Structure 1
Amino acid sequence: MERKDVNTFYRESGSGFPLVLIHPPVLTSRIFNYQHTELSRCFRVITYDIRGHGNTPCANPSFSIQTLSADLLALLDELGVEKAIVCGYSAGGTIAQDFVLRYPERVHALVISGGFPEVASWFVEQEFRLGIHFAKHHPLLLINSLAWSHQVTATDRHQIAEECKKGSPKFWRRFYEECFGQSCTKALPQIKVPLLLFYGSRCFHFLPYQKIYQRLVPQTKTVIVPGVFHQIPVKKHHFFNQTLTTWAKSIR
């Protein structure tokens, strides 16, 4: 899918209602392999590499979250998708939230795994500062750390790392910085579609965000996944996929 300054790499599988999944900085759409394998039985699963990540090269590392939302809109238009369930993982949820606020007519429902409306706690702030630092000074170490933390098998670790290496650390850093400065807390009441939240029971510094969503977004369901930290779509993919499927059927 071509725009003036970016040629977006995407993958789709299955048929049914469209489900779009958005990855966080450094990682790529490879992180959603288990969603393609399992959710394609019920959905038209669409994943893509954000500009400057994986197989989506881009020359200009200057962009905003609004730019990334526009990229997603262009992709949906190209694929003929009028409305989709939009799912953001971690900082990918920042794009998902911005997208539903800017283009509410294109979103049937919203799913956020390990997400936040703003970076508003010391621990999350430090994570972002580390991401920015390592993207600038130690990109390979950042890649290996993320590949290791998201592996289910050794093959996963290798493939995740190899896909990450195709991206640009300048874009990773920019993505971190843009998410760091983004806040949609005051706009959350404008989200009128159903919202499904996933949080790992061991990811204590993200758990407080659920209360913000529950207070401000009318149709919110929260799922606390036991025995896991942040990497729910990968580490607990069976549970994540089954829960998402059941919930999606209940809101149609």
Structure 2
Amino acid sequence: MNDPHSTPAHFGLTGQRIIVTGGSRGLGEQIVRRLVAEGCQVATCARGQERLDQLAAQLPEHALFTRTLDVTAAPLLHEFVAEVAGHFGGLDGVVACAGGARGGMLDSATPQDWTTTWELNVGHTAQLIAAAAPHLRAAGGGSAVIVSSVSGWKPGPQAQYGAAKAAQIHLATSLARELGADGIRVNAVSPGSMLIPGKRWDRMRTEEPEEFAAFTREFPAGQLVDPAEVAAVVAFLLSGAASGISGANIPVDRAQNAPTPDGY
């Protein structure tokens, strides 16, 4: 099998100006690394400056523009987009990668858990694209990629997360129609369960090997998704090679069945 981490840059993205939210760790970090390897000018934001500084130090000098930011603070997110566009002299694409969930099951999740989960996923995505749209129009068009999840259409706990991810998929299809006349493409990518160092499935692999082995049976090939595989699809959708794709939801899940070991 090909190593996704060794895939050469080949999507013709050199010089493209791209914003990635939530790019300091996990999938977001892999997307940033892939786009830098493609020759893009990349900007990212996250809540922790230390992780941003560590990532920037591992990349070529001046390859990454960073800011500490809570993406649910819409005015600050708009300011960040405007700052990046000014710094780069425009924008060619955005990737809404920041996301997550708050709260537990229905009987324990609070109204604030639902609101926070919605704002972190759907709210921030809508505001990112709204802030970027004028700059993309000025550049003659561009691409927005929304990182959703297989949980957006394959039921599993928690409901507030799945509902928000389903809304992101609808957002991609709706905004693709709304912004298409301006040459702006909008697509969603839905990763399956990814094996990320230190995260849930990686911890399960070492702490609960029997449960992890059972979970791998949700994948026909017995292997979870590598974040670098998702990053490659994001790069493709940002590129001219995907010029005919808009309003789509692209699963990158290795044909995964249930999205969690507690799937229904």
In the superposition, the TM-score normalised over structure 1's length comes to 0.44
Of structures 1 and 2, the larger Rg is shown by 2
TM-score, normalised on structure 2? Answer: 0.42
